[in-house]
Each structure stands twice: as structure tokens, then as C-alpha cells.
Structure 1
Amino acid sequence: METHAKAVALPPQALPGRPAATAPAATGPMQGAGMWTVLGLLMLGLMISFIDRTSLSSALADKHFIQEFGLSNVDRGLLNATFFWAYGLMQLPMGWVVDRYGVKWPYTVCFAAWCLATAATGAVTALAGLFVMRLIVGACEAIVVPASYRWIGSHMGEQHKGLAAGILSAGGKFGPAIGAPIAAWMIVTWSWQAMFLATGLLGLLWLLPWLGLVRNDLPDPQQLVVSKAYAAQVSFGSLMKSPVIWGAMVNNFCYGYFTFYCMTWMPAYLVEQRGLSLKDSGLYTFFSFAGIAIVATLAGWIADRLIAAGRDAVLVRKAFVVAGFVGGSTVLLGAHAATLDGALFWNVLSLTLLGLATANNLALCKLTLIPKPAIGLATGIQQVATSLAGGVSASLSGWLLERSGGYTLPMQVIVLFLVIGALNTIVLLRPKWSPRIDG
């Protein structure tokens, strides 16, 4: 008996310098206020994810929490790293899911799961339970970045991508900026158990506007055939042959190493080496992450305006990325500062200056240089490197602290990676080395 395969019409190729491919109907473009409203929800979702992932850092600076579980510096580093190992392991599967099955419902399920796991951390009484809850939170939060950039890539043009990436990334910075002082206040006022319960359950409120305002992009059976064929235009193998993908992974690692150090070890550094109270450490963590969020958004918007005026998109974004990596290297001045005021000044300024790189690195590596059919998968690949940075930063910094007895050596390693990131941006992130789609 003869069989005939049904032909599926695919969108045109989407490469840097060519018109972008048109997404399947389920994820067609939005216009006006609705587009920015959904972007705002994605930003809030990312912010909540960072509040939940960094809530443990405040607990790890609390002596009662440390005594409850008998934690050493190495234990603290491993606990922070556990989230990132699970987060990294699930990046590729989550990128694959959103490329084929849409953003709304996979994101909804994962969001609810990680919020409940965060709340359940407050009921844990054994160290093994802490590790399990962090594994769940990390695995479920892996959906956030691939889903968010998949949505942006399908709905926004190049003239909006820098600002969109800046607004989205602000959620990742305001998360710890807001979460650190609130978590510290809750721990001091009530307990670490109450802090985990509150941060987890309150986050669930985000689901109300998300479910009500974001349209269903889960494909029907016919759309699913088109969506799978569309996503399959770019294979994993073809992506991994691209120097841009490897360059993007290096950049994500170098950038993430510094930011995740600040998220996981900054509260402990300010309390243990600079003598601040837990409440005050939360306040200065707020200033640092609020600074990077504001600068990231402004830098993305300025880059967009330069590109709209006719400047080369890749060169503009690369210039901002290099400037951000160089500016972030001033963290070492804080490590060697003789006074508390000097240490706090450089601590805040270095992370703030890194904001010059934030939005433009995201736009460059996840959108500008990536074919639209592969944004979810390519973002997932890059997020593996980001997750690796979190795990290495948390655990290596704990080991270096244990070996050296201070925070200077961990900060020197940060500067090394920032220099590598700046050089990598110049050398590897070139349009001619962007991934090519199959077909």
C-alpha cells in the first residue's frame, strides 16, 4: 500500500541581515499596548523567579539557619549551587518545549510548581530536604528565560529588542534588589520558615493576570505540525557548529559568574567581612541590583535609538557589552578598599556599571545573531552556560573563601572572567558566524 507524506509549508530562512521569518499563527505578532503589557508580565515573572531563587542567600547569612542545619562554608556553596545544576540541566528541554508547544501553558505549570516548592522549603527540617526543594525550584525556573525570549523574538522588531531585553532583565535585577531586603526583614522579624512560606505563596498571585491577559498559544493539532517543522529548521548540531553560539555561551558564563556571586555571596560578604547587620546588607544589595537594572534598561534603549538612526546593530551592542564588562571589573577596588564606605561604593558601582552590558548582551546573543526559528533552543543552550556560571560561582567562591579565609580571592576570579568576556565579545560575536538554518 502506498503512503504519501503531507507537505508542510515552512517560513523563509531567518538569518542576520535577512528579513525575519514569520512565526506560526499561534505566535503571531502583537501590536501596541498589548505587546508591552505581556512584556511587563514576563518581567514580573522573571523578578519573582529571582526572588525565589535568591531567598536562600538571605537565609544562609542567618546564624540561626546555619546552626539549624550545621552548615559549613562549603555546605553553603553547595546549597546555592544545587539550584543552578538543576536549572542548567533543564534549559535545553525547556527551550525545546517552548519552540514546539508555545509559551503560555508550559510557563504556567512550571511557575506554579516552583512557587509551591519555595513555600515548602519553610517546612523542611533536614538538609536533604533543602537540596530536594532547590532541585525542584531550579528545574522549574528553567522555563523562564527560553520562554521569555521566544515570546520577544516572535513579537518585537530589532528597533525594540534592546529596550525589551533591558525591561526583561530588570526583572532579574529587581528580584534580588527587592527580595534581599524583604527576605532579611522577614527573617529578623519572624523566621526563615515564614520568609520561605510568604515568598513562595505570594508569587502565585502573578498567575491571575498571566492567565487572564496572555492569549493561548498552545497549538492545535494542525498548528502543532507546522510548529514542529518550523522549530526543526535549526538542528542542535547546526547550532553547536556556530562560533556565535560558543561565544554567547562564554559571555553568558562570564556575566553570570559575577551576578550570581552577588546574589549568593554578597549578603554573607557584607555581614561577615564588612560588619553590616543582616538588614543593612539587604539594603546595599538593593542598591547594587537596582543600579544594574536601571542602567541596563537605559543602555538598551540608547542602543535601540542608535540602531534606529542607522548605526550597525551588532557593533553598537558589542560596544555596550565591552564597556559593561570593563566597568564591572571595578569590583576589585572594593575588595581592596580600606574603609567601609569605600568598599560599599565600589561594591554598588561595579555591579551598576555591568548594566551597560546586560540588555545589549541579551539582545545580541539571544535575538540579533540568532535565526528566529531557533530562539528557544539557542537560548536554552546559552542558559546552560549561565546555569554553569551560577553553580561554579556559588561553589567555587565557597571553596576559595574556605581556603583563603577572605573574599579578596573570590573577587579576583570575578575580574578574570570579566576580562575574558570583553575579549570574547570582540572576537567571536560576528554576524558571519551566526547559525544557519537547515532546509
Structure 2
Amino acid sequence: MTSRQWGVMLLLALGVMIAYADRTSIAAAIANKPFIEHFRMTGVHRGLLGSALFWSYAAAQIPAGWVVDRFGVKVPYAICFGLWCVATALSGVMTVFIGLFLMRALVGAAEAIVMPASYRWFRHNIPERHTGLAIGIFAFGNKVGTAIATPLAAWIIVNWEWQAMFAITGLAGLVWLVPWLALVKNDFPRGGQLAEAKRRAATVPFRNIITSPVVWGGIVVNFCYSYFIFYCMTWMPSYLVEQRGLSLEQSGLYTFFSFAGIAIVAVAAGWWADRLIERGADAVRTRKAFVLAGFLGAATVLFGAYTQDLGWALFWNIASLSFLGLASANNLALTKVTLIPPPAIGLVVGVQHVAAGLSGGLAASLSGWLLHVSGSYDLPIQVIVVFLAVGAASCMILLRPEWSPKVESAAAG
């Protein structure tokens, strides 16, 4: 791998870190009483606001994948990046709930470009023996973004106010565009290149993608994996404040530990799987084993829900999300790179990340409703474990190489 490859890979990790920081900052806001009172929000309103980004994110995934397969990575990513940073900053000037909701939805739609563009670049620039580590570093970026966003947002809110939090977290990210535009090779097709890009993308028709068991397996696995992640992104600070009695700043600190744990484990697990594959282990079986171990370990979140001891509750809160890191890089490598033909990477990732967006919307809104009707976080946590079991079963049954989307050579003619 060249220094330019490493540089772009690190920029992609930083880009997804900023994206997740911008989407996660809302968790600190909806745990803040002045913010809640300003918009006169109930638990249902808080759930709707937390889910706004994810619904638009899901809706824009397939169009985003279609765009990067035909128009490259550099230019579409740059445009969307600037758009979501500005929308995040504008959230701080909204005075009514519907305005804030729409800004969060705009952030989600623009962030839809991140995954299709990033995984397309990985598939075309990183060899299989380095894929786990590369995607582990990428996954480290989104987990670190989540980890630092909540305590940082909480600190800004406590020391200034929620309006400043949105402005700072939104505008600071724009600095990223400078190295991106300078370092990344322009892959925007020109003239005859556009026709060639369209021809390559057409070798894997959409019908082959949508009928592939591997794609559906990836949809289910990513939905179930993401449900736990997005629940923690949206509701963990509120859970720690309201059910465990921590302050807002303390909740941000423990949220940081949880996401730092999954970030570190994701990189280590991706590197470990790469080493096993390099020594001759089957890539699909190896990565599936890590995914299953991660889902099983994450189910320990249930222990934290039922213990009365604060120390153990905090321990399992951190440990369960950290265990899920065993699945992070290996799940992403398996369902978005290893089992997917190169011409269709963007569109397949877009299709699969519809599930991720829907899981975020459902995790935020369903958990808010379950909290509203039960008065406790126990029921939302039980639902997490159910989804983890479904995801593990789907991984075992559906993720098989022979069920990958088929390339039709005739389309190239």
C-alpha cells in the first residue's frame, strides 16, 4: 500500500468520524432539560427527533449508491459533506420543533453518501489481505466519532448552550474538505469514461442485487447490528442520567468509554481476521466466526439491565458494546466487500444501508415509545437482544459465496 492509499484511508476514517459526531450530538441535547423544555418535547418527540436523521438516511442510500457507481467518489462525497456540516450548524438557529426535525433530516440525507463512497473506494484500492484492517480503521473512525461526540456535546451544552453545540460541531468539520480535495484522485468520469462507468455498473443489474440472498443477509445482519449501535447513540446518555442517576457530563464520559471500547476491538478483530486469512484460513468462514462471536458477546447488555449495582451496570454497558466490535470490521468486510462484485459495490452498500438507516430510525423511535409505555429502559434493552439473535442466525444461514449477486457478462457487450 502506498502513502496516498494510507492517506485516503485515514481521510475516509476521519470523514465517517465527523459524520457520526454530527449525528450523535443530538443524544446529549435530548438528555438536556433546557433543550427539552425549549421545544416542549415529550418522550415521543425525543424519539422522533432522534430518528429524523435515520429515516432520510435510509431513503437516500440507494440513490447515493447509484451516484458513486457512475460518478465516482471524490466529487459527490465533497458536495454532500459540505451540505451536512452546514445543516448541522443551522440546527442551532431553529426555534420550532419542525425546523429542527427538518435540519436533522437534511443531515441524514447528505450523510447517505458516506458508506457507498467509502466501501467503493476500499473495494477498488485495498487488497483482501488488508481489507479487515482497513475497514477496522474505518469502523474505528465512526466509533470514535460517536465516542467523542456525546461528552464533547455535553461539555459545550453545560458550559455554553445547545445552540453553540450545533454550530461548533457542524462548522468545525468543514476543515476536512481541504485535504480531501487536495489528496484524493479525481475519479469523476469525463466524456467516454462516463459511458464506460455506466456499462460496468450495468454488468450487475439491480434485479441480481435485490434477489441475492447475500444482499438480504447483509440487510438483516446490518439492521440488527446497527440497531444496538444506534440505540446507544440516541438513548445511552438519557438511560445513564434517568435510570442510573448520573449527571449529563458523567453520562457523556461513560458513553465515550463504551464507544472507545468497540472502536479498539473493531480494529484488533479486523487485523486478527486478516492474519488468519493471510495464513490460509477461508475468508468467509473466518469473518463469519468473528461476527457471530460479536453478536453473542453484545447480548451481555441484558446483564447490565437487570443488575441493581451501579458499578456492574456500567461495566456491562461498556463491555457489551465493546464485544460487538468483534463483528464490526468483519461484518462490514464480508457483506460489503468480500462477497460483492466490484462493479456493484456502491449500489449494494446503498441497498444494505437502507437497513442501517431504518434500524436507526426504529431504535430511536421504538425505544422512545417503549420507554413511554413501560416507564423503564428494561424493555428497550430486551428488544436489542432479540435483534442480536436474529442477526446471528441470518449471518450463519444467508452469507454464502454462491449466493452473491451475479455478474452478467452479456451486459458488457
TM-score normalised by structure 1 residue count: 0.93
Q: Distance in 1 between matches of 2:257 and 2:358?
A: 26
1:143-187 deviations in Å (ceiling 9; x for gaps) = 000000000001011101111111111111001101110000000
Q: Distance in 2 between matches of 1:147 and 1:392?
A: 24
Partner of 1:437: 407
Partner of 1:275: 245
Q: Distance in 1 between matches of 2:259 and 2:47?
A: 21
Tell me whether 1:366 sits opposite 2:333 in the alignment.
Answer: no
* Cα distance, 1:437 vs structure 2: 1.1
Q: Distance in 1 between matches of 2:92 and 2:60?
A: 24
Q: Pairwise mapping of residues 25-104 of structure 1 onto structure 2 (< 5 A)?
A: 31-104=1-74
1:401-421 deviations in Å (ceiling 9; x for gaps) = 001100000000000110111
1:270-300 deviations in Å (ceiling 9; x for gaps) = 0000010000000000000000000000000
Q: Distance in 1 between matches of 2:65 and 2:348?
A: 8
Q: Distance in 2 between matches of 1:242 and 1:200?
A: 38
* Cα distance, 1:68 vs structure 2: 0.1
Partner of 1:189: 159
* Cα distance, 1:33 vs structure 2: 1.4
Unaligned runs of 5+ in 2: none
Amino acid aligned to 1:177 = A
Tell me whether 1:245 sits opposite 2:205 in the alignment.
Answer: no
Partner of 2:286: 316
* Cα distance, 1:90 vs structure 2: 0.3
Q: Any runs of at least 4 consecutive aligned residues in structure 1 with deviations exceeding 6 A, and if so which? A: none
* Cα distance, 1:235 vs structure 2: 1.1
* Cα distance, 1:32 vs structure 2: 1.4
Choose from 365, 370, 385 the match for 1:395.
365
Q: Distance in 2 between matches of 1:214 and 1:437?
A: 28
* Cα distance, 1:438 vs structure 2: 1.7
Partner of 1:356: 326
Counterpart of 2:217 in 1: which secondary structure?
A: helix
Q: Distance in 2 between matches of 1:48 and 1:415?
A: 29
Partner of 2:275: 305
Unaligned runs of 5+ in 1: 1-30
Q: Distance in 2 between matches of 1:374 and 1:161?
A: 17
* Cα distance, 1:222 vs structure 2: 1.2
Tell me whether 1:165 sits opposite 2:126 in the alignment.
Answer: no
* Cα distance, 1:209 vs structure 2: 0.8
Partner of 1:21: none
Amino acid aligned to 1:369 = L
Choose from 134, 152, 170 the match for 1:200.
170
Q: Distance in 1 between matches of 2:3 and 2:295?
A: 34
Counterpart of 1:218 in 2: which secondary structure?
A: coil
Partner of 2:346: 376
* Cα distance, 1:423 vs structure 2: 1.2
Partner of 1:290: 260
Partner of 1:147: 117
Quote the RMSD (CA, aligned, Å): 0.6
Choose from 204, 208, 212 the match for 2:182.
212
Q: Distance in 2 between matches of 1:392 and 1:178?
A: 24
Tell me whether 1:232 sits opposite 2:180 in the alignment.
Answer: no
Amino acid aligned to 1:389 = S
Q: Distance in 2 between matches of 1:132 and 1:191?
A: 21
Choose from 81, 87, 106 the match for 2:76.
106
Amino acid aligned to 1:272 = E
Amino acid aligned to 2:186 = N
Choose from 194, 198, 223 the match for 2:193.
223
Q: Distance in 2 between matches of 1:95 and 1:240?
A: 14
* Cα distance, 1:36 vs structure 2: 1.0
Partner of 2:90: 120
Q: Distance in 2 between matches of 1:160 and 1:223?
A: 29
Counterpart of 2:245 in 1: which secondary structure?
A: coil
Tell me whether 1:332 sits opposite 2:309 in the alignment.
Answer: no
Q: Which has the higher helix share?
A: 2
TM-score normalised by structure 2 residue count: 0.98
1:71-120 deviations in Å (ceiling 9; x for gaps) = 00010101111111100000000000000000001000000000000001
Amino acid aligned to 2:144 = F
